[in-house]
Structure formats: structure tokens, C-alpha cells
Amino acid sequence: MTGTRTSRLTLLLTTLLLPLSSIASEVRITTGFSPGGSAIENILTAINSARQSIDVAAYSFTSKPVAIALDNASQRGIKVRVVADAKDNRGRYSAVTWLKHKGIPVRLNDRYAIQHNKFMVIDGVTTQTGSFNYTSSAVKRNAENTVVIWNEPSTAQAYQGEFNRLWSEGTD
């Protein structure tokens, strides 16, 4: 190829691909509600989007679909960590106990009357939060909500700081 043809091809490819790269990192917000299924779908979509890491802060955690999705992410090489309320997650039927037995780092936090957070930080740029406890009741019986803020690092960093604080207070 001549220098002019190479330059034109480079310009054409840059023009075509630049919009795709800006779309990929565009901030967007998705919501979900329960009952009805969209809340759990929103959470599972967020988990399945992970490429590097998922940090979870949970109050009550008994949801099999969420636990399985986190385990699957871990098996794909995603770094998964969970910090949960100590009083609500010590039982043998807790998803936290199951995840710990699967080799996922888990800490229980008993510093507060209730460690009532319900959020995830995914890849350091996406945040999932809302009233939704990671439980079957949240899916089937409660009126709950979820919000995922995609590709917004400043929000994710604020939640990451809170996760790190709760994690440092927790015990294995």
C-alpha cells in the first residue's frame, strides 16, 4: 500500500471505530423492580458483565441465583469478594456460607446493629445498589428495587471506599 492509501484507510477506520469506543464507555442506568423479575435480572446482568472484579456488600444473602452467578464469575477468573452482616449470615443455609465453601473470600461484619448495605462494585466502574436484599423473598414477596449505574467510575469509587471500609472491619 502506498502512504496515501494507508493514511486514508487509517482515517476511515478511526472514523468508524471511534464512535464504537465512546458508546462502550457511555454512562447508562438500568433499573429493576420486584416482584416481577426485572430486579433480579438487573443484578444478574451486572454480575455477568464483570471482566475483572465484583465486590458485594450484603445484609441478608440467601439467593441461589445470585450466589451461583458469583461462583460462575469466580470460575471465569473474576475476583469476587463478599462482606455481609454477621448476624444474618452465619447459618449453614446462607449463600455466604456456600460461597465461602466454594473458595470465594467472605468476611462477616458485626460492628453495627445491622450492616444493612446492599450493593456491588463491578470492575471498579459499575455500581449496583437499591433496596433489594439478595434473597428469594426480595424476588417473590417484597416490593424492591435495583439500580445499576454502568461505566461511572466516580460513583463506583465512592462505593468501593465503603466496601473497603466494611471489608477491613469484617472477620473471616
Catalytic residue numbers read 116, 118, 123
d(CA 81, CA 106): 6
DSSP 93-147: T-HHHHHHHTT--EEEE-SSS-----EEEETTTEEEESS--BSHHHHHTS-EEEE
d(CA 34, CA 135): 12
